[in-house]
Structure 1
Amino acid sequence: MPRILGVDIPANKKLEYSLRYIYGIGPTRAKTIVEASGFDPDRRAGELSEEEVNQLASIVADKQYIVEGDLRRERVANLKRLSAIRSNRGIRHQRGLPVRGQRTKTNARTRKGAVKPVRK
């Protein structure tokens, strides 16, 4: 199993799909990275040599993509900032309610959790 940026990517999948296992790299970025590397798109990730794996990691670094731990920290910092300035979005994140204007009278069960019965 090749290891790129501290993440084990599946060896039996094509390179473009294996790169998606890295947090912060989706379909478009994976395709761009494979094209920039010049590798055959049909190649499997397990067929890569150590130098080729390092080349992929350097391409991600050169393009200055924010991935893995840095991206996770940035997202948490953004949510903390919204909460600290007491914005509507930050408050709704804290309360576990939908953040982007969805209705809550009905639906919103994914965000609110299971129905809590009212006792009399």
Structure 2
Amino acid sequence: MPRIFGVEIPGRKRTEYALCSIYGIGLTLAREICEKSGIDPAKKADALNDEELSQISKLLQTEYRTEGDLRREISGNIRRLISINSYRGSRHRRGLPVRGQRT
């Protein structure tokens, strides 16, 4: 199984679907990454060589927020909402739905 950013991506899957196992990357973004790095999205993740993996890692590091950075940003946004005593912050604090769902 190849590793990107400390995340084991499933080797038996196509590259475009395997990249979705990284936090912050969906199918559309995975296809965009494959296109920018010049990798065939239908290629299995096990078939990627070291050069292609490093190319994907470099692209993710420079252009996208993923894994730890994204998690920190989201938790920071929630902490900010709580600290300014907004309605959304109070809903987060109480563990209730934030976006208007019924309770």
Tell me the TM-score normalised to structure 2 length: 0.94
The answer for unaligned runs of 5 or more in structure 1 is 105-120
Name the structure 2 match of 1:90: 89
Q: Residue type matched to 2:94 in 1?
A: R
Aligned length: 103
Q: Which structure is higher in helix share?
A: 2
- The ranges of structure 1 where at least 4 consecutive aligned residues each deviate by more than 3 angstroms after the TM superposition are none
Name the structure 2 match of 1:72: 71
Identity score, percent: 55
Bigger-Rg structure (1/2) = 1
Q: Does 1:27 align with 2:27?
A: yes
SS of structure 2 residue aligned to 1:79? helix
The answer for unaligned runs of 5 or more in structure 2 is none
Q: In 1, Cα distance between the equivalents of 2:40 and 2:79? A: 42
SS of structure 2 residue aligned to 1:12? coil
The 5 A counterparts of 1:33-112 are 33-62=33-62, 64-104=63-103
Name the structure 2 match of 1:6: 6
Q: Residue type matched to 2:69 in 1?
A: D
SS of structure 2 residue aligned to 1:23? coil
Q: In 1, Cα distance between the equivalents of 2:49 and 2:100? A: 49
Displacement of 1:38:
1.4
CA offset digits 1:44-84 (Å, max 9, x no partner):
0001111110011112223x210000100111111110000
Q: Residue type matched to 1:88 in 2?
A: Y
CA offset digits 1:8-51 (Å, max 9, x no partner):
10000000000001101111110000111212221100011111
